[in-house]
Amino acid sequence: MMHRSAYPRLASKIKLSSGVKISRFATLSASCASKFSTWQVVRRQNLLRTPSILAMQNSQLNYVISSQFHTASRKMDEYRVESDAFGEVQVRSDRYWGAQTERSLENFKINQPQDRMPTPIIKAFGILKGAAATVNIQYGLDPKIGEAIQEAAKEVADLKLIDHFPLVVWQTGSGTQSNMNANEVISNRAIEILGGKMGSKKPVHPNDHVNMSASSNDTFPTVMHIAATLELENELLPALKSLRKALQAKTDEFEAQKIIKIGRTHLQDATPLTLAQEFSGYIAQLDFAITRVENSMPDLRLLAQGGTAVGTGINTFKGFDEAIATEVSKMTGLKFKTAPNKFEALAAHDALVEAHGSLNTLAISLFKIAQDIRYLGSGPRCGLGELSLPENEPGSSIMPGKVNPTQCEALTMVCAQVIGNQTAITVGGMNGQFELNVFKPLIIRNFLHSTRILTDSMRSFEKNLVIGLKANVDKIASILQESLMLVTCLNPKIGYDMASKVAKNAHKKGITLKESAMELNALSEDDFHKLVRPELMIGPANYK
């Protein structure tokens, strides 16, 4: 039998095909030696006396040692060694990330995987790193290395390597870990493309080549702006404009039906208006929302890249920042410019705070629209019931036949979340100390969250509610005729005070306005019919 002192020596000699020692074998060999030592103690205590038992114990010990090293040998093929300034770490062989990403996985185990860096940020990293490689080739980067970086970066931008970006947003406030995640993934993929050995940092180094002319401090705010702009331009604005169009079509439908309804202020009866007029207010809110979002976007198209560590542009070249903005514009099809002041671009995120303010206002508008429609559709028999909402799914587990305004409720909950995100982004925007804002991941995570849930909920609201919305014409007419506020049209004839008496008398006695007016001798029946006409109450009077 091999002496126990030989196990650590044997383990130290076992190496990967790469020639790099695996530190786990020291642990495994120590474990085997420990098992051997325990068995020796038992033997010395004469608890294992018979030759047959001793033989069985020897056999079991050999089996344990054999299985331990067999398992370890198999694991050797599953891991490779990566290194950084803190030393060596093991990384799964099928992952492109390197030492710094692996350390971050260990150091920031916070709500994985739910709070991983948003996908639009990963896409933006791919775009920016590819653009940087193109520009850096012009400034001395080996074209062979640069082209490999471009190819790898495109795969990142196309989200083909999304599984290799495992970090959560809860990390350093500059986003350094995620920037290095991108550098390491692109470096190792580029090495693979060039036929090299992953983890070697040759011929493509994550810092020297992929991160050339850059710092996390200007890279992360740049990808924040790229991601925010792409999501607003390609996702949120199209969804918002589509919802506006659907509401316009519904308004036109109501206009053609010439539906007059009672208005309501303070949740109390007011003077009449048309259903189309009511919905036109919603359309105007969305028109203003579109304008606000679009007006906030020019500042998001200003890129921090070129400011490097503190905004001075150290380790870059004159013209580098403009060239980056030009290249990003080519790659995205959107017009980006270099930020005129890099110190502001690194230390503050007022542009994102402002842009999210437009989303916050949109959320408030959508909340009002959804809430109104929900109330107008309440019932179906004991509520207002002026609108019929599409029936999409059962509404109760106990009340048969019940249908709920689910789309309205989902949208209003989304709006509440966006309003909460606004608070987080506001606090994040405040946390720029001296030359760097250090709440960057928080800001962009909440910004992109708002963008996505607003986009999705608007599409859902349009498809599953607005398109199928119907007016209950008979119910609307019935409620209109019961309203005491029609008395308002009598003001020019009998005066405010008498009109008020007519309304209060009708309400107190439970009679109609006409009956009350006749009882109080306020005016003749003929004059009443001439004046109390809802269709004449939905706009200014035409005086010649």
- Residue 420 belongs to a domain with what CATH number? 1.20.200.10
- Residue 134 belongs to a domain with what CATH number? 1.10.275.10
pLDDT digits over 467-492, tens only? 999 999 999 999 999 999 999 999 99
Q: How far apart are CA 197 and CA 231, in angstroms?
A: 36
Number of domains present in the structure of the chain: 4
In a shared domain, residues 134 and 163: yes
- Show which of 428, 457, 475 is a domain's final residue: 475
pLDDT digits over 27-38, tens only? 444 444 444 444
- Residue 487 belongs to a domain with what CATH number? 1.10.40.30
Measured between alpha carbons, how far is residue 23 from residues 11, 26, 100 in Å?
A: 9, 6, 18
Q: Residues with catalytic annotation?
A: 266, 396
In a shared domain, residues 301 and 276: yes
- Show which of 432, 452, 475 is a domain's final residue: 475
281 touches 251 (CB < 8 A): no
Q: For residue 399, with 0-12 CB atoms within 10 Å meaning exposed, 13-18 middle and 19 or more buried, which class applies?
A: exposed
Residue 298 is assigned to a structural domain of this protein: yes
Residue 317 is assigned to a structural domain of this protein: no
In a shared domain, residues 381 and 237: yes
Measured between alpha carbons, how far is residue 196 from residues 96, 201, 207, 283 in Å?
A: 13, 9, 17, 59
426 touches 437 (CB < 8 A): no
Residue 380 is assigned to a structural domain of this protein: yes
In a shared domain, residues 62 and 99: no
Two structure tokens written together for 242: 């589509």
In a shared domain, residues 63 and 100: no
230: Cβ contacts below 8 Å, ≥ 6 apart: 120, 123, 124, 332, 334
Q: How far apart are CA 246 and CA 132, in angstroms?
A: 42
In a shared domain, residues 465 and 529: no
Residue 20 DSSP label: P
Residue 417 is assigned to a structural domain of this protein: yes
Q: For residue 23, with 0-12 CB atoms within 10 Å meaning exposed, 13-18 middle and 19 or more buried, which class applies?
A: middle
Q: At what angle do helices 216-231 and 119-138 cross, to 10 degrees?
A: 120
Residue 197 is assigned to a structural domain of this protein: yes
In a shared domain, residues 243 and 368: yes
In a shared domain, residues 297 and 433: yes
Amino acid at 279: F
In a shared domain, residues 207 and 258: no
179 touches 132 (CB < 8 A): no
Write out the residue range of the structural domain in which residue 517 sits. 483-536
Two structure tokens written together for 24: 């786990």
In a shared domain, residues 459 and 488: no
Of 368, 447, 466, the C-alpha closest to 412 is: 368
In a shared domain, residues 348 and 254: yes
Q: How far apart are CA 14 and CA 231, in angstroms?
A: 51
In a shared domain, residues 30 and 118: no
- Show which of 434, 453, 475 is a domain's final residue: 475
Residue 441 is assigned to a structural domain of this protein: yes
DSSP notation for 299-364: HHTEE-TT-TTTSS-TTS-TTHHHHHHHHHHHHHSS--EE-S-HHHHHH--HHHHHHHHHHHHHHH
Each of the 544 residues of the chain gets a pLDDT tens digit; together they read: 444 444 344 443 333 333 343 344 444 444 444 444 444 444 444 444 455 555 555 666 565 555 565 555 555 579 999 999 999 999 999 999 999 999 999 999 999 999 999 999 999 999 999 999 999 999 999 999 999 999 999 999 999 999 999 999 999 999 999 999 999 999 999 999 999 999 999 999 999 999 999 999 999 999 999 999 999 999 999 999 999 999 999 999 999 999 999 999 999 999 999 999 999 999 999 999 999 999 999 999 999 999 999 999 999 999 999 999 999 999 999 999 999 999 999 999 999 999 999 999 999 999 999 999 999 999 988 999 999 999 877 877 777 777 799 999 999 999 999 999 999 999 999 999 999 999 999 999 999 999 999 999 999 999 999 999 999 999 999 999 999 999 999 999 999 999 999 999 999 999 999 999 999 999 999 999 999 999 999 999 876 5
Residue 335 is assigned to a structural domain of this protein: no
Residue 501 is assigned to a structural domain of this protein: yes
Cα 331 to the center of its chain, rounded Å = 23
